Amino acid sequence: MASFSSAISNRAHFLSPKPLPHEPKHKKICSSSQSRNLYLPPHRSSIARLDSIARLERKVASKTKIFASVTDTSVETSPELVKLSKAGVWSVHKFGGTCVGNSERIKNVANIVLTDDSESKLVVVSAMSKVTDMMYDLINKAQSRDESYLSALEAVLEKHRLTALDLLDGDDLGTFLSRLHHDINNLKAMLRAIYIAGHATESFSDFVVGHGELWSAQMLSYWYSKNPFNTIVATGFIASTPQNIPTTLKRDGSDFSAAIMGALFRARQVTIWTDVDGVYSADPRKVSEAVILRTLSYQEAWEMSYFGANVLHPRSIIPVMKYDIPIIIRNIFNLSAPGTKICRPAVTNDVIDEDGQSMESYVKGFATIDNLALVNVEGTGMAGVPGTASAIFGAVKDVGANVIMISQASSEHSVCFAVPEKEVNAVAEALQSRFRQALDAGRLSQVAVIPNCSILATVGQKMASTPGVSATLFNALAKANINVRAIAQGCSEYNITVVVKREDCIRALRAVHSRFYLSRTTIAMGIVGPGLIGATLLDQLRDQAATLKEEFNIDLRVMGITGTRTMLLSDSGINLSRWRELQKQKGEVADMDKFVRHVQGNHFIPNTVLVDCTADTTIAGYYHEWLRKGIHVVTPNKKANSGPLDQYLKLRALQRQSYTHYFYEATVGAGLPIISTLRGLLETGDKILRIEGIFSGTLSYIFNNLVGERTFSEVVAEAKQAGYTEPDPRDDLSGTDVCRKVIILARESGLKLELSDIPVESLVPEPLNACASSEEFMEKLPEFDYDLANKRQVAEDEGDVLRYVGVVDVVNQKGEVKLRRYKKDHPFAQLSGSDNIIAFTTTRYKDQPLIVRGPGAGAQVTAGGVFSDILRLASYLGAPS
């Protein structure tokens, strides 16, 4: 075994040519995993401690340049190391490139370590921000014979020179600049050689790139030397092989370096300083409401990093696991954030972790891998044949492909696995070649490739003990209309892996994250038509939001509001206390296609509902498209359900096929439960015989107040003044609105009627249909009061009252809208205000009809009816009832 002092001198030879004549000699150390790793640059305050280290013994694994496991390092046999590790409580800090990006940040690094109360500290640093990329760029330019490598090298020199001038002074500055220029001259000669050869070996590249860490560590070391205390400054990333050939630990090597140092020094913790607040529950670029995880187990961190989460490289977790050393991920730019602690979880029957969740039922995070393809090998000849799987994956190995996930049917009829898409053609060809005879003989039916796939991994160490996690996961995917192509889960149950279409991946990620991390039911809403009803609905949503979230776990997010001219969009949810103000300030030109795309796809919520608060036929025409896209629809707009019968039938069929919900309770009775009552009767086996009712709040008000000497025109004017009528009262008096409600109920009852099949008695005098304006109509209406006065007098003479009603005669399959007479003790004669009343005569309620009565007009009750439908949708999507 090579001695430790020999390792030091060899390492110094490769990354620090000769000390300059005026430069003091300093000792350095490296760890002794297979690579001589973690060079420690000059630091006067560390010399006393380093002198006590004699040597480290190690095991060398064959055929690998970089050894990735501290478990194979015989640190226990080194009494010197044991003595050093017991000399005090050690902590390790690793600072990434952004943390040492300039002189001010380097000073900040020093101050952060000063606040650590550990007796001894070891600091591992990366190259300054962007420097590693700059060094790789030097090599690429040189071997491409691009002479701009010289100017690029000058840029590297200047970056470090300016930082040193701002950070250091006196002898320290002179010493560092001398070494910097010396190193740059050596690099210039090496790059010239690469330029001439047109090629760089791996060791040459590693030698060049490794200087970035060396320079940042030297600057920090000199800065620390002004304040002597027990701190060692070490380089991350760079190393040498047992043959003393320069190498690096490649990307994320500095984290690995810090983890190894933490294990060797038995540190109480390893802190990885970066530019994010910690480990997120999902990629925040894809899920904007991803949360910072306070704790992760080693296994959870390993699983998440394997599946692409920006946590740590899996190898960085191995060294610390053996000694139960926690790794803490913290943000150097937000010291108030506690970060994420990666450690071994406590073992109890009911552990509550720092996130406030029971670890027995907690899914920690989600990660995705894109650009994959599935390969499915299938055939009856596979079942019970030993060696089939070995042959399949032997062929995959032969082409050097990486298998990400494997899934096999228990019948052994098929094996499915995921590989990077760029490798799938080679894999398919290799399998076709390997199994040519079996395919020709029919023992294998196919080697199928499914491209454009992504993996979604759900990670949580305690999922194994929690029944229903898989059910919750797949339920969330189903409700987001996501098709799962393959599934894999190990018996440890640390993760559940599913394969989905690439275009569905982000939506799937948002769906499961929303289900586990947001309110149990989170719905993205788009409001179409912020008029009287729409605006009232927005106000009701604002007033009830907190209660819904706290008591029912329902989170309704209005992501967009659009009118005919302008629309307001938000990525996280519009502030409903200021939506009118925001619409004026940030509104943009209305574009329905853009509006729908935004509400459905430009955020983290998988469930989408569009609420049409208009009475517009054009908007109703969009419902087919919205439902086809998996968007739920809620509306008080009667146009779709009372339009052409074939379009209505297609709409209902599409709703069932697309597994979406279409709610329209408010189309008939505003806030009254008319549609739901009718459906409840039908679904429980009752038979509808007749539906009769006063469906118009406006006409109810008019006839309820047409008493004494009052005239028809007088009461109509009063209703218009009170806001009960449409701007043009003829829209109410014509009976068309009542006819649409009758058609809706008739179709709900199973009758296939068109609007034109319903005879309607209009209350608009025929001559007044030609009036050019509502003002002209109101001016001439008194001329026709006598017609209705006569009908009213006849009715009163016989003890009756007049009421404007709609009738659905299910038995005779017809309907009508007309002015009818009722006895004064009839329920229809006893209304007040603008109340509606609907009577259901059924097989069960034949002698005494089932009656629903209440306010049937007004913005508050209509918006309330729409709101009720939204909450019904939430219940269908999983909210508690």
- Which tokens belong to 718? 């009063």
Check if the beta carbon of residue 510 is closer than 8 Å to that of residue 523: no
Report whether 236 contacts 126 (CB < 8 A): yes
Which H/E stretch holds residue 872?
helix 859-876
Tokens describing residue 272 = 């990885």
Tokens for 615, please give them: 């009475």
Length of the chain equals: 881
Alpha carbon distance 664, 640 (integer Å): 10
In terms of Cβ atoms closer than 10 Å to its own Cβ (0-12, 13-18, 19+), residue 497 is: buried
819 CA to centre of own chain: 56
Angle at which helix 211-224 crosses helix 170-197, to 10 degrees, equals 180
C-alpha triplet 615, 620, 625: angle, nearest 5°: 160
C-alpha to C-alpha distance for 741 and 636, rounded to whole angstroms? 11
- Nearest CA among 585, 533, 597, 590 for reference residue 561: 590
CA distance 56 to 83: 12
Residues 6+ apart with CB under 8 A from 585: none
* DSSP tag of 242: T
Clarify whether 741 is annotated catalytic. yes
| Cα 121 from Cα 93, distance rounded (Å) | 8
For tokens 């406006």, the residue is: 698
Burial class (CB in 10 A: 0-12, 13-18, 19+), 244: middle
Residue 678 near residue 745 (C-beta atoms within 8 A): yes
Backbone φ and ψ of 376, nearest 5°: -120, 115
Alpha-carbon gap, residue 162 to 115, rounded angstroms? 27
Burial 628-663 (b: 16+ CB within 10 A, else e): ebbbbbbbbbbbbbbbebeebeebeebbeebebbbb
Rg value, the chain, Cα: 38
Helix, coil or strand: residue 45: helix
Q: Give the end-to-end CA distance of the chain in Å, rounded to a whole number.
A: 71
Assess contact for 211 and 183: CB atoms under 8 A.
yes
Q: Which of 741, 814, 818, 846 is catalytic?
A: 741
Q: How many helices (H) and strands (E) does the chain have?
A: 32, 29
Q: Is 653 helix (H, G, I), strand (E, B) or coil?
A: helix
Long-range contacts (CB closer than 8 Å, 24 or more residues apart) made by 341-349: 341/294, 341/295, 341/296, 342/279, 342/295, 342/296, 342/297, 342/298, 342/301, 342/311, 342/312, 342/317, 343/295, 343/296, 343/297, 343/298, 344/297, 344/298, 345/295, 345/297, 345/461
Sequence-ordered alpha helix ranges (H) in 269-423: 298-306, 318-321, 388-398
| Closest residue by Cα to residue 562 from 535, 526, 598, 597 | 526
Q: In whole angstroms, what separates CA 694 from the centre of its chain? A: 48
* Spatial CA neighbour of 738 closest among 764, 758, 720: 758
Active-site annotation, residues: 741
